[in-house]
Amino acid sequence: MDFSGEFIQFAVEKGVLRFGEFKTKAGRLSPYFFNAGLFNDGESLGRLADFYARAILASGIGVDMLFGPAYKGIPLAAGTAVALAQKGRNLPFCFNRKEAKDHGEGGTLIGAPLAGRVLVIDDVISAGTSVRESVELIRGSGAQPCGVVIALDRMERGQGELSAVEEVRQAYGMPVVAVATLDDLLAYLGAKPELAQNLQAVSHYRQQYGTKK
């Protein structure tokens, strides 16, 4: 099993990826729900960071440092930096706070100075707001955003024909790497006869709301 399949299995085992009927922000009834916030202990965060590191190395993206957008991206970027260092790739990282601080070191950025090719580490891309704010911060510091890494790409259309991930790729001309995608989820379900009912529901949902690619 490749790391994407391993990640799906891990997310199901941790209850981070669940099946049933869930209402999305867009008002759609989804047969699955993914909540990366439930990777909430040391062991699971460590394993999650290891999957991010594997996805980054496999992507071949040229990167000089990592950036974690507040708030969910902060532990993800820190954990991924540790995981990459353990694999022989030691990169600096930085994250932002939502509110500017007027004492101590001040400002909104914490960690290594933003410089060179900066990879954004986040959980998912919904509306793309977090990515837009990250790109502005990185460019505003004179650095270059070089891509985004997320845990799961739902491959689901937004308001138009494109998914939120495709919109980010198009708007910023940079790659979005996902540890796993909806295709990987379908492959996982297809290999589990006991989950045939879930496979049917997710396949139907993809036909309704999935991107055409």
**83 within 8 A of 111, measured Cβ to Cβ:** no
Is 204 a catalytic site residue? no
Render the burial of 64-89: b for 16+ CB within 10 Å, e for the rest: bbbbbbbebbbbbbbbbbbbbeeeee
Structure tokens at 80: 């991924």
Instruction: Indicate which residue of 23, 87, 101, 192 is catalytic.
Output: 101
Is 101 a catalytic site residue? yes
Instruction: Indicate which residue of 98, 103, 212, 213 is catalytic.
Output: 103
The continuous run of DSSP H or E covering 80 comes out as helix 73-86
Provide the residue type at 176 as one letter.
Answer: V
The number of CA neighbours under 13 Å toward the Cβ of 47 is 17
Q: Report helix, strand or coil for 41.
A: coil
Provide the residue type at 82 as one letter.
Answer: V
Neighbours of 146 (CB within 10 A): 19
Which are the contacts of 36, defined by CB distance < 8 A and separation ≥ 6? 16, 48, 72, 76, 123, 124, 151, 152
Catalytic residues: 101, 103
